[in-house]
Every structure is written in C-alpha cells, then in structure tokens.
Chains A and B, each alone.
Chain A
C-alpha cells in the first residue's frame, strides 16, 4: 500500500513539475519591446479657429450724419503667449476675407504689441471700391514663421484700424456693406 502511494506521489509530482516548467518557460518568452519609443511621440494637430469679423452696412460709418474716416480699437489678448502655444506652435496662418459692396475702398491694419506696448509686427490689407455695389471679394493670408512667429508669441495686445479710403461721400442711403471674415490656422508640433 505504501509503495502504491509513493509511486502515485511521484507520478503526480512529475505531472506537476512538467506543467510548471511549461508554464514558466512559456511565460518567460517575450519578443523584444522598447517602451522608450514613447519618447518619440509626436502629435501634429492643426487647429482652426475663427478670429475677428465685421458685417456692417454703409450707414454704420456715419456718426450724427457725418462720415467717419477711420475706426480703431484695441484688445488685450493672452492666448498667443500661453506656455503651451510658445512650446508647441510651429506655424500659424491668418486668413482675412473681405467682401465689399460699397462704392468706397477701405484698408484694415493690424498692429501686434508686446507687454511693453512695443509694436512687434504690423500688417494690413485693403479692398477697392465697388462702383456697381456688387461683391468685391479679396483674401489676405498672413503667415507667421521664423521671426514673425516669435513676434506672434510675444503679442499681448492687438490694435485694429479700419480706414475708409477717399471717394463718394457716404450718407444714410448709401447702398452696400463691408464684410470681414477671418480665421487662424495653427500648426502644432507636440513632442513631450
């Protein structure tokens, strides 16, 4: 009886050892992986965002019945010198699309100022008059790369100036309107 039990024990033990070896050998088998590859991660999303817009009839350029030649406003803006933008913004493009149906040309100037109120970058675009009040469409693309990109990243204040160019005076019944649409395209390159 004792010998029967001991041979059985050996059999059981043998099975167990074989199984264990199979499991252990097979678990230890892995093909080569390299987790450091995560350091190579590079994300290049392209974000588009609406910027400024204007959509006004001719008579909005009258104050007490008298034509105003220019309009100016400024705004403090802190998105361009955000740490994330400074680190990862590789290139930006601003697209301005004007649609003019007033029989007067106009010009828009954008001044970009830094914390010390110093102008870092200026650009402008214009539209010719529309004598027959049909839509005159113009597009301007301002590209920010290199020094211009650095200027953008230092910008904390924007000054917009709109000048109506000389021509037939505007009154309450002057037809047409000025439309400005704009968007920014931001090319990011995120490498942690």
Chain B
C-alpha cells in the first residue's frame, strides 16, 4: 500500500513541469504585486503605486530537455555529436519556454466606510511575452536520418507544436475582506495582442512502407496550419527594427486584436495559525481579426513511383497527362494556402493554491506584548501551481519557509519540484526603506553558477511606493 502510494507520488512528480511559476511571489503579501497572482490575497498596505517601468520586471526561461550548455559549451566536442545526443535524448513532450513581463504602471488603494477600509482596488498595465515550443522530435529525426533507416516508422506531424504571443494587459481588481476569516478578490483584464503566432493543432503523418507494385509506398497525410496576427503588416517593405518597435508600442493601446479575461481568488484563515488560499488567473481569450495571416498545408497522397511504359491512363489521357497528374498531386499536397480567417486563442489558465502555517511570535525585551496585528515571524507552507499548455498541463509543487527578519525586511526560501528539475531552490527578499519597497527574487539559485546549464531560471524585481497601515 505504501509502495503504491509512493509510485503514484513519483508518477505525479514525473509529470510535473512548470513555467511562469512565481512561487516566490505567491502569497508574499508584503509585495503589492502578489495581488496579481491572487486577487483575493491578503493586503498589508493602505495604498501603493509602482515606480513606472520598474515596479515589476520578470523574466523566466526554461527547457525540460537539453540546455544551452549541453549544445554550445566550448568544450572542443563535435557540435554534431552534441546535437545528435540532444535529438535522441529529447522527447516530443520536451519543451522550451520564455516568459517575460514588464509592468508599465500599477497602483492600488484601500477604501470602505470610515471605520474600516475593508476593500482594496488595484490596477495597472503590463506587457507580457510568452513563448512555448515543444521539441518536434519526428521532424528532427526525419531531417537527421532521413527515411532510409525508418521504413514503417510513422512520422507524426503533430510534433510541430509551438506558440508565441506578445500582449499588453490592462487590469482592475477588487479585493474584499468579507469577515475575519475570508478575503475574496476578482480582477478583470483587457488583453491587447501585439503579435501572435501559433501552430498547435497539427495533424497527420508521413510513413514509408513496403509497396506492392514497387519497393515502397510513401503515404502522406498532412493537415498543418500556422496562424499569425500582427505579423504580416510588420513585414512591409521598408520596415526597419526602429519602425517595427514604434508600431508595436502603438499597439499597446490602440490595436484591435483584443480579449477579455478574469482572475479570481480567495484567502481563508482556518485558525490563528493555519491559512489556505487559492486563485485562478487568466481565464480568458483573445480574438484575432486584424492583420491575420494563416498558412495551411493539407492533403492525402500515396506515392509508389510511376509506371512509365504502361501508365494507367484514363480515357483520352496521354502519357504526358499521366506524368502531369502525378506532378499536380505533389504540388497540391505541399501547396501552402494562405487565408485571413480570424481566430481565437485562449490564454494559458494558471492555478495557484497553498496551505500555510504561521508560527513564532516575536518577543520584545521592553514589554511583554505583541506589536502589530500579525505577530508571527515565520511561516511554512505547501504551494501547488498548474498552467494549461497546448499538449498537457504543467504542474509544480513548492514548499517554502518565510521569515520576517526585521520590521520591513522579509525573506522567503522555496524548494520546488517540477520537470525542469528536482532541486530548484529559490530565494526572495522584500525590503522597505521608509515608503519605498524593493523586492528581488530568483529561483534555481544553485544553477546560477553556470546559467547556460540551467534547466530553468526565473528572476523578478521591482520598486514600489507603499502607504503602510498604521500598525502601532
């Protein structure tokens, strides 16, 4: 029984993989940006505004397969051998991700009746780049080996699976303390897609099998599509990188490829020391209608060679017609159809949940009393993170230790298991200098000794101006 549980646990762990996971920021209520991860999180300030362009800088990159160092280390090894190793070691479910966010502005303030300001409004605008690409294993094998050593192997066309989006997000959130135990929150989001490219729904296969009339039958069955919005117009003649950036900047506010989404969340204080919370982020969509250009390849064809002397010609068909018909079949099969059909993309929904235990009240020498409402200096907890991705959801499990080192200085240490690695240790720090709050957090800190060999790295930092609660 124990063994079975152990197995289930390990299967679960082996499915874990995370990206965009902000395990350090989640639940870090001293940092206002934690409300972006859980709109129903605890609020510890009366108001704040983020230092424009500096309030949240976040970058996260990861690979579940080969690292940059695996391939590009200057170690004198033959690059092609390293490439071969990478191709054979990686699977079609291995992926590469990049996620970057930059807050352009943000702010928030508490409001309510005269006696208790139990509501909090927060708002802001941020830019986000999100890229995920799965390793196209079968395409790589076909390009690397060809079909000679792969007779009867079905090359799966769905291995081509990638998406990239550059968006801006304008958001307003409300947080309400319902009673002593429960806090709930909601955030509405208006997405503007600056650029979008995706190819996540490919189907079909290519296989070479032994033939009847000839050595081989080559069977093509292809249904591939790449959809883009906001890209066709950038490739205009005379476009420079400068003009492109200018064009993109305009789209942050005035681009018609818009979408809507919501975040919801809650915090529930079970006892004085135990607390649970949870949130769902980015339940939303973007509708792409302007500047859309899609590329599609589809068709079925079985080729077994040509019969030059006894062509199976139809009535009145000459041998030349027969040859042309075969050529047309191939041209049709690989012809790229372009369309401007509008499409909708769904944002990757993210789940966060945690169970927390606070302990260790601070004792003061000068009096036997507690200062402040939250007297506990330490907290430990378990966090679960999940994100919906094109092929399968990715998850991560984090344990953490949180400590108020000094008044105005908090730290959080996390240990995270995901399929990038089983040894992801992160460190976060938030410090207040008067009204100025500064935070910095990085995970996988042990991999920073050679960042190119890291399976994943994530770094975020920012500056805010805080209006504190009058605690004493």
Residues of A within 8 A of B (CB): 8-9, 11-13, 15-16, 19-20, 23, 26-27, 29-35, 37-38, 40-43, 45-56, 60, 71-73, 75-76, 95, 97, 158, 160, 162, 181-183, 185-186, 188
Q: Is the CB of A33 within 8 A of B73?
A: yes
Given A32-B73, A53-B214, A181-B214, answer yes or no on A46-B145 (Cβ-Cβ < 8 Å). yes
Q: Is the CB of A33 within 8 A of B308?
A: no
Given A33-B73, A35-B72, A45-B143, answer yes or no on A75-B79 (Cβ-Cβ < 8 Å). no
Considering the chains assembled together, what is the distance between the CA atoms of A100 and B69 in angstroms?
58
Given A8-B407, A50-B303, A181-B215, answer yes or no on A32-B319 (Cβ-Cβ < 8 Å). no
Q: Is the CB of A29 within 8 A of B450?
A: yes
Name the segment of B167-175, B221-229, B417-425, B437-445 touching the other chain. B437-445
B216 CB contact (under 8 Å) in A11, A31, A49, A188: A49
B431 neighbours in A (Cβ, 8 Å): 12, 15-16
Given A29-B448, A31-B452, A41-B79, answer yes or no on A55-B305 (Cβ-Cβ < 8 Å). no
Q: Is the CB of A54 within 8 A of B307?
A: yes
Considering the chains assembled together, what is the distance between the CA atoms of A47 and B206 in angstroms?
13
Q: Is the CB of B307 within 8 A of A15?
A: no
B49-68 interface mask toward A, CB cutoff 8 Å, 1 = contact, 0 = none? 00000000000000000001
B323 neighbours in A (Cβ, 8 Å): 75-76
Q: Is the CB of B406 within 8 A of A188?
A: no
B307 neighbours in A (Cβ, 8 Å): 52-55
8 contacts between A and B (CB under 8 A): A16-B429, A16-B431, A29-B449, A32-B74, A40-B79, A49-B218, A53-B307, A183-B216
B445 neighbours in A (Cβ, 8 Å): 23, 26
The yes or no answer to B472 lying at the interface (CB within 8 A) is no
A48 CB contact (under 8 Å) in B68, B208, B453: B208
For A33, A47, A51, A181, which residue has the most chain B Cβ atoms within 10 angstroms?
A33
Considering the chains assembled together, what is the distance between the CA atoms of A71 and B307 in angstroms?
12
Q: Is the CB of B146 within 8 A of A47?
A: yes
Chain B: interface size category? 35 or more
The yes or no answer to B245 lying at the interface (CB within 8 A) is no
Q: Is the CB of B149 within 8 A of A46?
A: yes
Given A12-B433, A162-B309, answer yes or no on A41-B80 (Cβ-Cβ < 8 Å). yes
Considering the chains assembled together, what is the distance between the CA atoms of A185 and B143 in angstroms?
15
Q: Is the CB of A60 within 8 A of B310?
A: yes
B136-153 interface mask toward A, CB cutoff 8 Å, 1 = contact, 0 = none? 000000111111110100
The yes or no answer to B83 lying at the interface (CB within 8 A) is yes
Q: Is the CB of A12 within 8 A of B409?
A: yes
Considering the chains assembled together, what is the distance between the CA atoms of A20 and B440 in angstroms?
8
Q: Is the CB of A73 within 8 A of B406?
A: no
Considering the chains assembled together, what is the distance between the CA atoms of A12 and B408 in angstroms?
8
Count of inter-chain pairs, beta carbons less than 8 A: 161
Shortest C-beta distance, A2 to chain B (Å), equals: 14
Considering the chains assembled together, what is the distance between the CA atoms of A40 and B438 in angstroms?
45
Q: Is the CB of B146 within 8 A of A188?
A: yes
- For the complex of A and B, the 7 pairs showing the least CB-CB separation, nearest first, are A45-B146, A50-B305, A53-B214, A46-B148, A26-B448, A34-B74, A37-B79
Considering the chains assembled together, what is the distance between the CA atoms of A30 and B451 in angstroms?
6
Which residues of B from 101 to 117 have beta carbons under 8 Å from A? Answer: none
B147 CB contact (under 8 Å) in A40, A41, A47: A47
Extra A-B contacts (16), CB below 8 Å, given A34-B73, A48-B215, A71-B309: A27-B459, A29-B448, A30-B452, A32-B73, A33-B69, A34-B74, A41-B79, A46-B145, A48-B147, A49-B303, A49-B305, A50-B303, A56-B310, A60-B310, A73-B319, A75-B319
Considering the chains assembled together, what is the distance between the CA atoms of A38 and B449 in angstroms?
24
B75-101 interface mask toward A, CB cutoff 8 Å, 1 = contact, 0 = none? 000111001000000000000000000
The yes or no answer to B298 lying at the interface (CB within 8 A) is no
Given A40-B79, A50-B303, A75-B308, answer yes or no on A27-B143 (Cβ-Cβ < 8 Å). no
A43 neighbours in B (Cβ, 8 Å): 143-144
Shortest C-beta distance, B102 to chain A (Å), equals: 18
The yes or no answer to B304 lying at the interface (CB within 8 A) is yes
The yes or no answer to B45 lying at the interface (CB within 8 A) is no
Which residues of B from 177 to 221 have beta carbons under 8 Å from A? Answer: 208, 211, 213-218
B310 CB contact (under 8 Å) in A37, A47, A54: A54
Considering the chains assembled together, what is the distance between the CA atoms of A162 and B323 in angstroms?
18
B409 neighbours in A (Cβ, 8 Å): 12, 15-16
Considering the chains assembled together, what is the distance between the CA atoms of A130 and B218 in angstroms?
32
A30 CB contact (under 8 Å) in B78, B146, B149, B450: B450
Given A29-B451, A31-B452, A34-B74, answer yes or no on A53-B213 (Cβ-Cβ < 8 Å). yes
B148 CB contact (under 8 Å) in A15, A31, A47, A50: A47
B154 neighbours in A (Cβ, 8 Å): none
B214 CB contact (under 8 Å) in A29, A41, A182: A182
Given A27-B451, A50-B214, A160-B309, answer yes or no on A16-B438 (Cβ-Cβ < 8 Å). yes
